[in-house]
Structure 1
Amino acid sequence: METYCNIPLRERNIVLIGFMGVGKTTIGQLVAKKLYRDFIDVDQEIEKIHNMSIPTIFQQLGEEYFRKVEKEFIVDICTNTRLKIISLGGGAYLQEEVRNVCLSKCIVFFLDLSWDSWKDRIPLIVNSRPLLKNKTLEEIEELFFKRRDAYSLHNSRVSTNDLDPEAVADQIVKSVKWTWEIYEPND
């Protein structure tokens, strides 16, 4: 895995990862506003390109097709853009090529929400998440913990338990600015 990058730290994209429904989009929009950057929600961009929702893409074209398109889109934006805040779908980071490009070219924040806090959100998101349809609570919990292994590969972890999105965004911005000052102080 490539870990060196010639993109200056201040110009690197910031990528938010975490399980579906943890707030990556909401928090990403707040971080983008605070850092004066453009925000990209990968799922929303894929929906625009295909002119259909993610559940419809899964249903009509299949998960394998979706994952291929998702990977190509993420590799492209991580390789060819700078100064963006990027929210990945919950399953995107499971793909090794996605993890590698994010870690080698961007700053990756894992938004970590405990299982007990996350499961309270199920009624709010179950209908819009194809991978949750017709699953028992035990199957969803298994998926949640299985994905944590991939999420453990990141640059920084932010525990979002008991924090509102604004507080999480402030914590990310503070962390990024501190890192910039330590590793690339102004000349």
Structure 2
Amino acid sequence: MTKQERPLIERNIILVGFMGVGKTSIGKKLAQKMYRDFVDVDQEIEDQEKMSISDIFKTKGEHYFRKLEEEIVLSTCEQKLKIISLGGGAFTQESIKNRCLADGLVIYLDIGFQSWKDRVHLLVDSRPILQGKTINELEHLYYERKDAYARHHSRFLTDSFSVDDAADYLKESLQLAYEMET
């Protein structure tokens, strides 16, 4: 059975979206509720390299980071029954986007720019791509990345949901999709 023939219920659920949208928080909660393993690609990279993503960017560069990110995502996509949280920039890589769309169920967690802007102060120190940028540059990056997330299987606007409520909503939606497939 090829991955494309894999039943929907066995496919990985892949969460994509802009940094700070809640992919990790919602993904962990969703994995608990669905009895699946959770994989945070950024955490996998940090564990493998034994340094923070900020330090990887500083010492080895973004190109090194993106290559490592690609290897880990493609390898993780080979597995099944996972909830996978991609870093905000991962889905801008065509090889990652194509593999995720072909082998998994890609859910785009979206957030309005104003809601995201209210969170930016919580993100700047841990996100090297944000450091030293003006609010106009951040807005440009936000909309540029939004274009990259345009190809997905489902979109969920997180602005007015708590982490728990978002995970419950996604679980219920996925269960409905699984039932419709059978």
TM-score band by shorter chain is over 0.9
In structure 2, the residue matched to 1:129 is: 127
Q: What TM-score do the two structures reach when normalised by structure 1?
A: 0.95
Q: Deviations over 1:54-95 (max 9, x none)?
A: 0000000000010001011101111x2000000000000000
How many Å separate the matches in 2 of 1:44 and 1:127? 16
How many Å separate the matches in 2 of 1:120 and 1:71? 30
Q: What TM-score do the two structures reach when normalised by structure 2?
A: 0.97
Secondary structure class of the residue paired with 1:132: coil
Secondary structure class of the residue paired with 2:152: coil
How many Å separate the matches in 2 of 1:155 and 1:130? 29
Structure 2: gaps of 5 or more residues: none
In structure 2, the residue matched to 1:138 is: 136
- Amino acid of the structure 1 residue aligned with 2:146: R
How many Å separate the matches in 2 of 1:140 and 1:178? 37
- Amino acid of the structure 2 residue aligned with 1:19: F
In structure 1, the residue matched to 2:44 is: 45
User: CA offset at residue 24 of structure 1?
Assistant: 0.4
How many Å separate the matches in 2 of 1:181 and 1:119? 38
How many Å separate the matches in 2 of 1:148 and 1:111? 10
- Amino acid of the structure 1 residue aligned with 2:40: D
Aligned residue runs from structure 1 range 169-180, under 5 A: 169-180=167-178
In structure 2, the residue matched to 1:55 is: 54
User: CA offset at residue 162 of structure 1?
Assistant: 1.3
Runs of 4+ in 1 over 4 A off after TM superposition: none
Q: Which one of the candidate residues 163, 178, 181 is aligned to 2:179?
A: 181
- Coordinate RMSD, CA, aligned: 0.8
Q: Which one of the candidate residues 139, 145, 148 is aligned to 1:147?
A: 145
In structure 1, the residue matched to 2:103 is: 105
Structure 1: gaps of 5 or more residues: none
How many Å separate the matches in 1 of 2:153 and 2:135? 30
Q: Deviations over 1:87-139 (max 9, x none)?
A: 00000000000000000000010001000100000111100000000000000
In structure 1, the residue matched to 2:29 is: 30
- Amino acid of the structure 2 residue aligned with 1:29: K
Identity among equivalent pairs (%) = 50
Alignment pair present for 1:10 and 2:9: yes
Secondary structure class of the residue paired with 2:148: helix
Q: State the aligned residue count.
A: 180
- Amino acid of the structure 2 residue aligned with 1:34: K
In structure 1, the residue matched to 2:79 is: 81
How many Å separate the matches in 2 of 1:54 and 1:27? 21
